[in-house]
Amino acid sequence: MSKAEVTLLDCWVSPFCMRVKIALEEKGVAYESQAEDLFGGKSELLLTSNPHGKVPVLLHNEKPVSESAIIVAYIDETWTASSFLPPCAYGRAQARFWADYIDKKVFDAGKGICLGKGEEVEVAKKDFIEVIKTLEKTLGDKDFFGGDTFGFVDIIGIAMTSWFPAYEKYGSFKLEDDCPKFSAWIKRSSERESVAKVIPEAEKVLGFMAMFRKMMGVEE
């Protein structure tokens, strides 16, 4: 375990923050979490650490690192035991590609389910399921995206699933019906200590989403 000072500017419900915490847990890195109020007023530290004013921000010896996938890669390169990425260049490139795919596709489609109205929800749900089917095809019969080892793509992806119960509720579907292998991967990954320690209970996320929907005018 490193003795370096590590602080995470955090928001408990953010899947992007969750993936950073999972990466830190996987590496056994001790850290402090500083909660940010993203709705009531962001801290000066956050605003000066990230020009976008977004969490997560990792402060390592007071030096800020922003954007969750970049932070996970930084953690992997800084605490080098048991790398998250494959040993070969091609494998690393593929892992980065699928991590980027998750970032560009999963959250936006899911958000469309939760914040859409009428036909918008059906369109977003169809898009979301197709995205997950693509990931399921890539996963294949492997335990994890990298094979037998929980790695970079798994860390990037499993945090996003913390919002899946909300997508299922507001989209009126069960992902397992369409993507059983991906759902089995969620269950398998969620049993890891690093993940179970970080991912909040589904009911807590659903409570946040109900509040957020009212805030955004989706429901009264």
What pLDDT sits at residue 114? 96
Which ranges in 28-67 belong to alpha helices (H)?
A: 44-49
- Concatenating the DSSP letter of every residue in 107-162 gives HHHHHHHHH--THHHHHHHHHHHHHHHHHHHHHTT-SBTTBSS--HHHHHHHHHGG
What pLDDT sits at residue 38? 87
Blockwise average pLDDT, block size 10, the chain, 220 residues: 76 98 97 92 95 96 97 97 95 98 96 95 98 98 96 98 98 98 98 98 97 90
Contact 74, 27 (CB under 8 A): no
Contact 190, 199 (CB under 8 A): yes
The span from the CA of 220 to the CA of 199, in Å, is 28
The ranges assigned to domains in the chain are 6-78, 89-215
Which homologous superfamily is 6-78 in? Answer: Glutaredoxin (3.40.30.10)
CA 136 to chain centre: 17
CATH number of the 89-215 domain = 1.20.1050.10
What pLDDT sits at residue 39? 85
- Find the length of the chain: 220
What pLDDT sits at residue 190? 98
